Structure formats: C-alpha cells, structure tokens
Amino acid sequence: MTLAEEILQAVSVLVAQHSMYTFTRKDIRIQIGVEQNRWTRSYSPTFQAMRIDHPGGAPPIGKKYKGIFKRIKHGLYTLTDYGEELIGTPMQINKYRQMVRMYHDLEDKLHSIGQIIQFDKRNLETFGLGFYNILFLSCNLFEMCAKEVTERVTGNDSSDMGDWKTIQAILQFSTHQHRFIEMDYNIVPFKEFQNDELKDRKLQWWSAYNDVKHNLANIEHATLKNVINSVCAAGMMVNYIIATAIGLTPLKPSKLFTDLFIPVENSIR
C-alpha cells in the first residue's frame, strides 16, 4: 500500500466510523499508527501533495490522489468534493439523500397548489408568490446538481448557466419529454438546449427564475408553466446525479411526471 493509500484509508475511517469531518495531521498519524518522526519524514510530504491547495514543493503522486484535502484554517483540514466522492463518505451520501427529500418536497408543494388553482392549461400563465417559492427552490436544486455535473466533467467548482449549456451530460436531456399527470400536459424542460447557437440556449423557466429573483416586480414570470418545467428539470437532474455517482438504486416513479423516476432515499448508500 502506498503512503497516499494509507492516508486516504485512515481519513476514510476517521470520517465513516468517527464522524470526523474535519481533522488534523495528528489525527491521521494516530489512525495510521506511526510515530512523529516517520510521519514528518515520509507521510507529511505526501499529505501535502494530496491537498488541492498545497503551497508547492510537494512530491509527485498519482493523479487519483491529488486534490483530496483542503485546509479550512491553520492545522485543520477536510475533504474536497472529489475526496468525498472518492471514499463515498457519509457527507456525500447524506447530500444525495437530501436532494431526494428536497425533490419530494417540491412535488408535494406543487401538488398542493392544485387545491388553490385548478390544474388546467388555461391557467399556465397564472403567477404568484406561491409559484415563485417553488420556482426558487426547484432552480436551487437544479443548480446544485448542474454544478456537481460540471465539476465532474471540467473541474470547475464555480460554474453557472454559461457552462451548463455546453456540458453534454446536461445537453442529453434536451429532447426528453415528460407529461405533467395532473393536467395531461406534455413538457420538454430542456428544449432550448437543442438550439445550435449558445446564445439561443436560454431555458425559459431559468430565465424567469432570475428575472423574479433580481426584481420581485417581475413576479408575472413565476407562472404555473415555469414551475412545472423547473420541478421536472430538478427531478431529472437528481435522478442523473445520483445514478452516475453511486450506480443503480431502487427507483420510485414521480407522482407528477410520467417517465421520471427518483431514487428511493433509504437505498442510497
């Protein structure tokens, strides 16, 4: 076992068995079971090389083991998103379970709207603060997923729509059609991503979200139509992000959309 493998294994134990999501070099050294001099001479330089923010001068290590740790403050470290992914930490699993809970909550909120406003195609342009609340939450969930997909592909951890509309893993959904069961209404949430020109790849529901977020006077853009599309888009991304991170899991059909399946929360391990 290489030094990098030993360090990674030790951190995996600290996180998984002791719930230590932040740790010091001493914590790792004790978990490995080596004395201070040997750690300083052999392990510490390797640990430096495994940091995404190492100050330079670290020894060469395999690509797999780079960018696993980051410093929070002097002497205290945590895993990067890549590090969490690599060892399948409870933090990552909990994040995916939270995504599923967030999606189901969105479905419940949207379903409840039907007790106030009739789900009818004549009401697609109906707008209001209740719709904006769902639009805001669903777009935030979509953004969370889109950022993770983009970081996996490009390494960019601060991406935005300008990046997402170029990522093939997201563009693949541009032709996916679903039916909003409550009113037999067919939608293609990522339809605009079929356009050849990048400037034309403007998702209507995402633009509406930004319009209202930056100026509540634009509340007329928080419509039933945009909410239906944004909730479905969030569900599509949740399904994809979890399936590609941890593999196949038992799925439950969406309560609101045909051909959309969401991972069963307790099966995400």
At 74-108, the pLDDT tens digits run 999 999 988 888 876 666 777 888 899 999 999 99
Q: Please indicate, yes or no, whether residues 66 and 171 belong to a single structural domain of this protein.
A: no
Q: Please indicate, yes or no, whether residues 214 and 117 belong to a single structural domain of this protein.
A: yes
The whole-number pLDDT of residue 248 equals 66
The pair phi, psi for residue 131, each rounded to 5°, is: -65, -40
**CA nearest to 205, candidates 256, 150, 257, 140:** 140
What value does the mean pLDDT take over residues 240-264?
A: 89
**pLDDT beyond 90 at 113:** yes
What value does the mean pLDDT take over residues 27-49?
A: 94
Q: Please indicate, yes or no, whether residues 106 and 235 belong to a single structural domain of this protein.
A: yes
Q: Please indicate, yes or no, whether residues 75 and 98 belong to a single structural domain of this protein.
A: no
Q: Please indicate, yes or no, whether residues 60 and 101 belong to a single structural domain of this protein.
A: no
The whole-number pLDDT of residue 34 equals 92
* Whole-number Å distance between alpha carbons of 262 and 243: 10
Q: Please indicate, yes or no, whether residues 141 and 98 belong to a single structural domain of this protein.
A: yes
Residue, of 54 and 104, whose pLDDT is higher: 104
Give Cα separations from 5 to 42, 87, 102 (angstroms). 13, 11, 35
Q: Would you say the C-alpha torsion 225, 228, 232, 235 has a positive or negative sign?
A: positive
What value does the mean pLDDT take over residues 129-138?
A: 96
* Whole-number Å distance between alpha carbons of 235 and 145: 10
What value does the mean pLDDT take over residues 114-120?
A: 94
Q: Please indicate, yes or no, whether residues 233 and 158 belong to a single structural domain of this protein.
A: yes
The whole-number pLDDT of residue 90 equals 63
What value does the mean pLDDT take over residues 135-151?
A: 95
User: What band does 57 get if pLDDT is binned at 50, 70 and 90?
Assistant: confident
Q: Please indicate, yes or no, whether residues 143 and 54 belong to a single structural domain of this protein.
A: no
The whole-number pLDDT of residue 102 equals 94
Rounded to the nearest 10 degrees, the angle between the axes of helix 129-154 and helix 224-246 is 30
* Whole-number Å distance between alpha carbons of 228 and 185: 10
The whole-number pLDDT of residue 47 equals 95
* Residues spanned by the domain of 162: 90-267
Q: Which of 55, 87, 119 is the last residue of a domain?
A: 87
pTM above 0.75, yes or no: no
Total domain count, the chain: 2
As a whole number of Å, the end-to-end CA separation of the chain is: 26
Residue, of 85 and 33, whose pLDDT is higher: 33
For residue 158, count other CB atoms closer than 10 A to its CB.
8
The alpha-helical segments, DSSP class H, found in the chain are 3-18, 25-32, 36-38, 44-49, 81-87, 90-113, 129-154, 161-164, 168-171, 204-214, 224-246
The listed range with the strongest mean pLDDT (3-12, 19-28, 94-103, 189-198) is 189-198
Q: Please indicate, yes or no, whether residues 44 and 167 belong to a single structural domain of this protein.
A: no
Q: Which of 36, 62, 87 is the last residue of a domain?
A: 87
Question: Comparing 15-24, 47-56, 68-77, 137-146, which segment has the lowest mean pLDDT?
Answer: 15-24
Q: Are strands 261-263 and 69-73 parallel, antiparallel or unpaired?
A: unpaired
Q: What is the pLDDT of residues 160-196, one digit of tens each?
A: 999 999 999 999 999 999 999 999 999 999 999 999 9
Task: Express as a percent the part of the chain with pLDDT over 90.
Answer: 73
Q: Please indicate, yes or no, whether residues 83 and 94 belong to a single structural domain of this protein.
A: no
What value does the mean pLDDT take over residues 202-210?
A: 98
Q: Which of 42, 68, 87 is the last residue of a domain?
A: 87
Q: Please indicate, yes or no, whether residues 106 and 234 belong to a single structural domain of this protein.
A: yes
Q: Please indicate, yes or no, whether residues 131 and 68 belong to a single structural domain of this protein.
A: no
